[in-house]
Amino acid sequence: MNFWMRLKSDRIAVLCMILLFSVVLLGIFAPLIAPHDPLEPNIKFKFADNSLEYPLGTDQLGRCVLSRLLYGIKTTVVLSLLTMGATLFIGTFLGIVAGFSRGKVDEAIMRLCDVLLSFPSEVMILAIVGMLGPGLTNVVIANIAAKWAWYTRMIRSLVMEYTDKNYIRFAKVAGCSSSHIMRKHLLPGVLGDVIVLATLDTGWVILTISSLSFLGLGVQAPTPEWGMMLSEAKNIMTTHPAQMLPPGIAIMVVVAAFNFLGDSIRDALDPKGDQTKAVVK
Amino acid sequence: MLEVMDLYKSYHKGGFFSLKSRQEVLQGISFSVKAGECVGLIGESGSGKSTLSRLILGLEKTDKGEVKLEGDDIATWRKKYPGQMSAVFQDYNTSANPRFTIEEIIREPLFALQQKTELRAFILELMDKVGLSAKLLIRYPHELSGGQLQRVCLARAISTRPRIMVLDEALSSLDVYIQVQILELLRDLKRDLHLTYLFIAHDLQTITYLCDQILFLYQGRIVEQLAKGELSNAKNEYAKRLLASVITFGGQGQRVVYHKCKQIRQEVGV
């Protein structure tokens, strides 16, 4: 059984993938699906209850909560995926360079990582956003800047671990090219481990973007974003606590889906998983 | 064919500030191996056998001294004749990529040489040679026993028809019947392909069965070099001690053991 078959036979993984895929689709087609303009205030209908016209009701300015939630996907989920992708790309590239060269280049990259890693990542993100000013692009930049060092380290140590394996030694001895070793042995091994971390971390990035918006440093006021919506709902928590539910649940479900998917990918990547399942069956 | 000249290798003892303290592993190793010859390297654990094999395979750089194959250094030689050098390692667990099936494992060196025709039949032939069933080809390494996996590694190692092969404790993990079978296979290969071996082991029995020359490695130095027939002429204390520990088994003892095994094998019909 290969990786995809193993992943497909895992019900939780399939469920998570369907869920995340449809969330992304909903985000992309939000302008077509959303019943209302997410920015259009309608003070007459503020705090409206669930109805056919407003499936999730309206917020304190009378905007449709469902529409805001749908438009928020683009900012929250898509941006976090973008952040993760960029981090992973930088991390993999520098990690493999460092792990393979092992000389002065390695030293230089590692000491730079040490410097960056000596700040707590939350403080680092706040500092960078503070310097660059609040805004969506800056939040993404700050997240990448805070995370790449950690990934570079991780991938470098994985590369070094893999290059010490006998099968890579054998491939070198047998005269396989470096690109063959990279493609067949190193990348599948390293990426397999890293993708698990990445899916788990995507949840973390969503929370960071949301919490920065919550603090008022990320997305600016009218733009729909889940953390932002939560932040606005906080202000009227005592009078209308139900306002916090839609964005809160949306964040929770997506983060949980990413975490479960990460776990499933890890299981599916390990061919040894077959054995235990076979015994159970 | 293979020439090792005045080889030195040391490792950091570890610790960032202890730059000066190094563990000397190999101290001035020199020997040469003729084409078609089998040289056995024997020594206790920690004597530098595996380090020496890694240096000869060109996986690590020497501190001082040279390793030459037909006059070239390893990297040049390997570029000139890809696939003509091969190895079997002691630790079979990491010798095969856990994500590959057995067939992919054996095919890898062939694939790297761009030999893509009629691979299937050839792989079946190799599996047969090392005494494994063709049914195993679709399995993954963790589904095989250690002995089976080590034989897969051996099949992979001989798949490119190498001219020189380093066996680093390759048989230590196998049981005696299979050891005998593999030793016979190695001897046949040596005859048919004119293969040159560097055979590293810690027990004398397997070495004397296969090797023409025996080197005794002790604390990073070669303390004695003997041809197969002159084992009794050992002068060095360590070599003598090592030999004595086997010879108490009986001068003909090793032979007897192997003939016994062979007999049993024939009776069982393996």
| Mean pLDDT value of segment A219-248 | 80
In A, minimum Cα distance to B160 occurs at A174
Residue B161 in 3-state DSSP?
coil
For B86, the closest of A174, A185, A189 (CB atoms) is A174
Q: Quick one: pLDDT band at residue B251, thresholds 50, 70, 90?
A: very low
Mean of all residue pLDDT scores within chain A: 82
pLDDT at residue A152, rounded to an integer: 92
Mean pLDDT across B184-192:
83
Residue B143 reports pLDDT greater than 80: yes
Q: Which run of H or E residues covers position B214? A: strand B213-218
Report how far residue A176's alpha carbon sits from residue B107's, in angstroms, rounded to the nearest whole number.
Answer: 12
Q: What is the pLDDT of residues A44-89, one digit of tens each?
A: 767 767 776 677 777 777 787 788 888 888 878 888 888 999 999 9
The one-letter amino acid code at A94 reads: L
Those residues whose C-beta lies under 8 Å from the C-beta of residue A53, and which sit 6 or more positions away, are A35
Measured between beta carbons, which residues in chain B are less than 8 angstroms from residue A171? 108-109, 112
* CB within 8 Å: B58 and A166: no
pLDDT at site A277: 45
pLDDT at A78: 82
| Amino acid sitting at position A9 | S
Q: Any chain B CB within 8 A of the CB of A275?
A: yes
* Interface contact A104, partner B, CB < 8 A: no
Cβ proximity of B171 and B12 under 8 Å:
no
Strand partners, B218: B221
Q: Do A176 and B112 touch (CB under 8 A)?
A: yes
- Encoded tokens for A19: 């869920």
Residue of B nearest to A166 (CA): B95
pLDDT at B218 over 70: yes
Residue A278 confidence (pLDDT) above 50: no
Closest residue in B to A270 (Cα) is B99
Query: What is the pLDDT confidence band of residue B264, given thresholds at 50, 70 and 90?
Result: low
| Selected residue with higher pLDDT from A45 and A90 | A90
pLDDT computed for residue B13 by the predictor:
67
Give long-range contacts, CB 8 A cutoff, 24+ apart: A89-93.
A90/A144, A90/A148, A90/A151, A90/A152, A91/A147, A91/A148, A91/A150, A91/A151, A91/A152, A91/A154, A91/A155, A91/A194, A92/A151, A92/A155, A92/A190, A92/A191, A92/A194
**Binning pLDDT at 50, 70 and 90, where does residue A90 land?**
very high
Sheet holding B85-88, edge to edge: B85-88, B164-168, B196-201, B38-42, B213-218, B221-227
Tens digit of each residue's pLDDT (9 = 90 or more) over B50-64: 888 888 888 888 888
The pTM for the full model equals: 0.74
pLDDT of residue B183 exceeding 80: yes
Residue A280 CB-density burial (10 A; 0-12 exposed, 13-18 middle, 19+ buried): exposed
Surface-to-core class of residue B173, CB atoms within 10 Å of its CB (0-12 exposed, 13-18 middle, 19+ buried): middle
Judging by beta carbons within 10 Å of its beta carbon (0-12, 13-18, 19+), is residue A168 exposed, middle or buried?
buried
Cβ atoms within 10 Å, residue A64: 26
Tell me how far the alpha carbon of residue B234 is from its chain's centroid. Answer: 24
B249 touches B165 (CB < 8 A):
no
* Domain edges within chain B: 37-57+83-268
Compute the C-alpha angle A188/A82/A151, nearest 5°.
50
Chain A / chain B CB contacts < 8 angstroms = 77
Asked if the Cβ–Cβ distance from A166 to B95 is below 8 Å, we say: yes
Name the pairing type of β-strands B64-69 and B2-12.
antiparallel
Mean pLDDT of A252-277: 77
Interchain proximity B78–A175, CB inside 8 Å: yes
Q: What are the strands, taking DSSP E only, across chain A?
A: none
Give A16 to chain B, closest Cα distance, Å: 25
C-alpha distance from A95 to closest chain B C-alpha (Å): 21
Say yes or no for a CB contact (<8 Å) between B91 and A166.
yes
B87 vs A165: CB contact, 8 Å cut-off?
Answer: no
Is residue B237 pLDDT above 60, yes or no? yes
Residue A274: pLDDT above 60? no
Contact (Cβ atoms closer than 8 angstroms) between residue B6 and residue B72: no
Confidence of residue B75 (pLDDT cuts 50, 70, 90): confident
pLDDT reading at A276 higher than 60: no
Name chain A contacts of B94, Cβ cutoff 8 Å.
165-167
Most confident of A37-41, A166-170, B20-24, B81-85: A166-170
String of DSSP letters for B51-117: HHHHHHTTSS--SEEEEEETTEEHHHHHHHSTTSEEEE-S-GGGTS-TTS-HHHHHHHHHHHTT--T
Q: B1: helix, coil or strand?
A: coil
8 A C-beta contact, residue A91 and residue A155: yes
Do residue B112 and residue A166 have CB atoms under 8 angstroms apart?
A: no
Contact B84 A272 (CB under 8 A): no
pLDDT digits (tens, 9 = 90+) for A156-210: 998 888 888 888 888 888 888 888 888 888 888 888 788 888 887 887 888 888 7
pLDDT (average), residues B197-226: 83
The mean pLDDT of A222-243, rounded to a whole number, is 79
- In chain B, residues 122-141 whose CB comes closer than 8 Å to chain A: 140
Query: What pLDDT does B18 receive?
Result: 58
Read off the pLDDT of each residue in A214-241 and give the average, rounded to a whole number.
Answer: 79
Which among B203, B188, B176 has a CA at the least distance from the CA of B257?
A: B176
Q: Where does the pLDDT of residue B244 fall: very low under 50, low under 70, confident under 90, or very high at 90 and above?
A: confident
Is the pLDDT at B125 greater than 70? The verdict is: yes
- CATH superfamily entry for domain B37-57+83-268: P-loop containing nucleotide triphosphate hydrolases (3.40.50.300)
At B16, the pLDDT band (50, 70, 90 cuts) reads low
ipTM at complex level: 0.82
Residue A18 pLDDT: 92
d(C-alpha B262, C-alpha B270), whole Å: 10
For A:151-180, CB contacts with B below 8 A are: 165-167, 169-177, 180
Cα-based angle A3, B103, A184 (whole degrees, multiple of 5): 55
Question: Pairing mode, if any, of strands B85-88 and B164-168?
Answer: parallel
Which domains, from first to last, does chain A contain? 3-280 (1.10.3720.10)
Tokens of A87: 């981090």
To the nearest whole Å, the CA of A6 is away from the closest chain B CA by: 13
**Lowest mean pLDDT across A260-269, B10-19, B173-182:** B10-19
